Structure 1
């Protein structure tokens, strides 16, 4: 990666608003506050020359008989910055944070036909964990 890349944890809603072009929709201030305050929630932002270029969110989950694990919840890189290794660095950084927190593993839900995502995750050391189905309840 030839550009100056910096990855740091988001700690202020203003950072999320400045990076909202990376999300599916606009960052809401009250949701940003709640996300940043929630135990186990974290967002890492990738900056290239001071501009938000990518993000990754992780949610640390704790279970009484398993301990802590990290869910890679969402990952995105702005179109002009793709194919420069930013996503790979974000995944590696989240994995490092998970290990530092004592998580026994990290996992990611991904659509079975999302070949770019599958290739990225495999290239960063993830292995298939069998076939699973994800079912969703949605409320308006």
Structure 2
């Protein structure tokens, strides 16, 4: 497995099957243009097998934290340590960039995600509630 930091739209489009929806060119270019946005793709036999995206967030009383925005592994490559390796690499990027921590959210019944995050050393907080506005 080879994990690469992605900087080109072409690489994102070639890994489009890993995302929930087809990546949009405009959003991809904007994401990649911001040095606080990170996209890592794991390749197996030079084929995209999984990805993790992270966004640095900053707040006056917290400093810079890394938000693990999304994690996905192709079904054919699941249960091989790819997700854990991607999380470990994103955590390393966060440390290199001086972040004070990494955080994310997931559904409380997403057993696979929770197990993956536990293996990566995350502390789970089941008292937190996600609130969202969709447009």
Pick the TM interval, shorter chain. Answer: over 0.9
Unaligned stretches of 5+ residues in structure 1: none
Match of residue 20, structure 1, among 2, 5, 16: 16
Partners of 1:109 and 1:40 in 2: how far apart? 19
Match of residue 31, structure 1, among 24, 27, 32: 27
The yes-or-no answer on 1:47 pairing with 2:48 is no
Q: Which residue of 2 aligns with 1:127?
A: 123
* DSSP 3-state at the match of 2:40: strand
Partners of 1:138 and 1:119 in 2: how far apart? 28
The yes-or-no answer on 1:107 pairing with 2:103 is yes
Q: Which residue of 2 aligns with 1:6?
A: 2
The yes-or-no answer on 1:118 pairing with 2:129 is no
Could you list the structure 1 runs, at least 4 aligned residues long, displaced by more than 3 angstroms after superposition: none
User: How much does 1:25 deviate?
Assistant: 1.1
Structure 1, residues 38-94: CA drift from partner, whole Å, max 9, x if none? 241111000001100000000111112211100111000001111111001000000
The yes-or-no answer on 1:83 pairing with 2:76 is no
Q: Does the Cα contact within 8 Å between 2:53 and 2:68 map onto a contact in 1? A: yes
Q: Which residue of 1 aligns with 2:66?
A: 70
TM-score of the aligned structures, taking structure 1 as reference length: 0.93
Q: Does the Cα contact within 8 Å between 2:52 and 2:70 map onto a contact in 1? A: yes
Unaligned stretches of 5+ residues in structure 2: none
* Aligned residue-pair number: 135
Partners of 2:63 and 2:74 in 1: how far apart? 34
Across the aligned residues of Structure 1 and Structure 2, the Cα RMSD in angstroms comes to 1.0
